[in-house]
Structure 1
Amino acid sequence: MSVVISHVQKWTDPKLKWDIEKFNGVKQVVVPQSLIWVPKLFIYNSLDTKDMLTDNRYDLRVWHNGRVKINIPQFVTCICRLQIDMFPFDTQFCAIALASPLLNTEEMDVNATQPPPDSYFAGNAEWEVMNVTVRHMKFMEEGEYRAEIHYILHLHRRPIYYITVIVAPTFLISALSILGIFSPGSNDGPRSEKVSLGLGSLLALTVLLDIVAGAMPKSNSVPLLGI
């Protein structure tokens, strides 16, 4: 699964507090990322992760009470386990899994909450995002617990392409082949007409089978489209 995410991280750093009255009522400032410590999280089930901004273009917003916020837009390609028995009428669950590479839960714990109501999730021409849930987990590594967050995407495949390009033509050609057996021919050569019709249908089915083979996911089970 390839997704573009805009991941917002918020945390409190006690060392960044200041008194508003001593700084002319300034309640918040925007500073470069290089000046402030940022909690390190990485997507450990990704094949590839690309930051959509260079390091010198990331900024943070800091409030007088030590509250810090950063927005990290990324392009991520994740590994997902697919269930293709009902392909192309299938739904899939794919997760974006984040964890800290070093810090344990005593040093940095992650508060996992559901996406806010104003969050924006968009699919594409083939997939529709039905829902996004958040699961907070912990795993043991070398005698200490580390926080792990799963953003689970519930995806539904839009089957209209496969219906119009593969399913409907296959049914039409199959019906034409069956009707061709019982169709009356002319007195000159009924057998030759039926043979030509059968060969034409067989050629069309061969082309469709090539499209089906390229469209179906590679798996040990036979999906619904193959049946």
Structure 2
Amino acid sequence: MSISVQRAAASELAIHDKIFKDYQKNVRPVKDPNTITTVKVGFYYILILGVNAAQESVQFSMDFSQSWTDEYLKWDPAEFNGTQTIRVPELLVWMPDIVMTESLSMSLLLPEEKRKAKIDYDGTVSLWSPAVVSHNCDMEIDNFPYDIQTCIIWFAPWAYPTTQVLPVIELPPSGEYDDLQGNSEWEIISFLPHERYSNSSDGNTYKELNFALTIKRNYVYYIAVLVIPTFVITTLCLLGIFSPFNNKADREEKVIKEYCEGGRIQGL
């Protein structure tokens, strides 16, 4: 191991010991309780895995991010050989309770003990959560197979009102979501973010983020997989019914032959 690598490792360990001394991960990381913790929520990619029209659900793989400022996880890089970033187990830091409120199921691709949080010297904490999600989606299939469906993906804090935690949408640098992938049956038309405020019965105001995932059915898939094979099979069946029953006798229709044989059996 080179000397520079050893110094970097020693610096990260020293930073870890300093910022996590007396750190309380169960308390919102602000020194003034009136300070609002702004949480940026973003998406890196979405991949459609399947759509179940009968259950009105869509399954997709995604990677979404969250970032916020933790006022207790700061240091001066000059004191630690210029180290500006460290990575620690996610379980060590305070995390906002932002959840997908209408998901049917969510399976994280990495177990909790293996996920890492990135911490910058200015206290910025960043998390990335790759997951497979099954989400509720109201569907109208009157125009099948030319239908277009819009699924609303909701994110919201579970317990914190806007006076404590304020989620905001973080757009990609390009301003648009580019890494959107459909499958052979569906293609993604758009992925548009929106924000909404709602009042609860306890008198607090909560902010919700929603992402409108609009997908379009690939009708060519149904023509190639369903319509054409069905037409070919039906045509072959009709040809088989009215084709000669042998290659020597006169041409007779099988339907007539079977009808006549049935009549003789019944004494007609």
Alignment TM-score > 0.5, same fold: yes
Partner of 1:128: 187
Indicate the RMSD between aligned Cα atoms, in angstroms.
2.9
Conservation of the 8 A alpha-carbon contact between 1:135 and 1:151: yes
Separation (CA, whole Å) in 2 of partners of 1:3 and 1:116? 23
Q: CA deviation at 1:194?
A: 7.6
Query: 1:79-110: CA deviations, max 9, x gaps?
Result: 00011111111111112211111011111001
Separation (CA, whole Å) in 2 of partners of 1:119 and 1:30? 27
SS in 2 for 1:76: strand
Separation (CA, whole Å) in 2 of partners of 1:9 and 1:113? 9
Separation (CA, whole Å) in 2 of partners of 1:113 and 1:64? 21
Q: 1:9-28 alignment to 2 at 5 Å?
A: 9-28=66-85
Conservation of the 8 A alpha-carbon contact between 1:115 and 1:132: no
Q: Note if 1:7 corresponds to 2:67.
A: no
Separation (CA, whole Å) in 1 of partners of 2:93 and 2:191? 31
Opposite residue 36 of structure 1, the aligned amino acid is V
Partner of 2:94: 37
Q: Note if 1:160 corresponds to 2:217.
A: no
- State the TM-score, normalized to the length of structure 1: 0.73
Q: Which is richer in helix?
A: 1
Q: Which is richer in strand?
A: 2
Structure with the greater alpha carbon radius of gyration: 2
Opposite residue 46 of structure 1, the aligned amino acid is S
Q: CA deviation at 1:167?
A: 3.2
Q: 1:65-214 alignment to 2 at 5 Å?
A: 65-117=122-174, 119-141=178-200, 142-168=202-228, 192=253
- State the TM-score, normalized to the length of structure 2: 0.62
- Counting matched residue pairs gives 190
Aligned-residue sequence identity (percent) comes to 29
- Gap change, CA 1:165 and 1:107, over 3 Å in 2: same
Query: 1:103-134: CA deviations, max 9, x gaps?
Result: 11111001124444374111111111121111
Conservation of the 8 A alpha-carbon contact between 1:114 and 1:133: no
Conservation of the 8 A alpha-carbon contact between 2:108 and 2:130: yes
Separation (CA, whole Å) in 2 of partners of 1:127 and 1:22? 53
Separation (CA, whole Å) in 2 of partners of 1:60 and 1:195? 77
Gaps of 5+ in 2: 1-57, 239-249, 258-268
Opposite residue 84 of structure 1, the aligned amino acid is I
Separation (CA, whole Å) in 2 of partners of 1:115 and 1:83? 31
Separation (CA, whole Å) in 2 of partners of 1:150 and 1:169? 40
Gaps of 5+ in 1: 178-187, 197-227
Q: CA deviation at 1:31?
A: 0.9
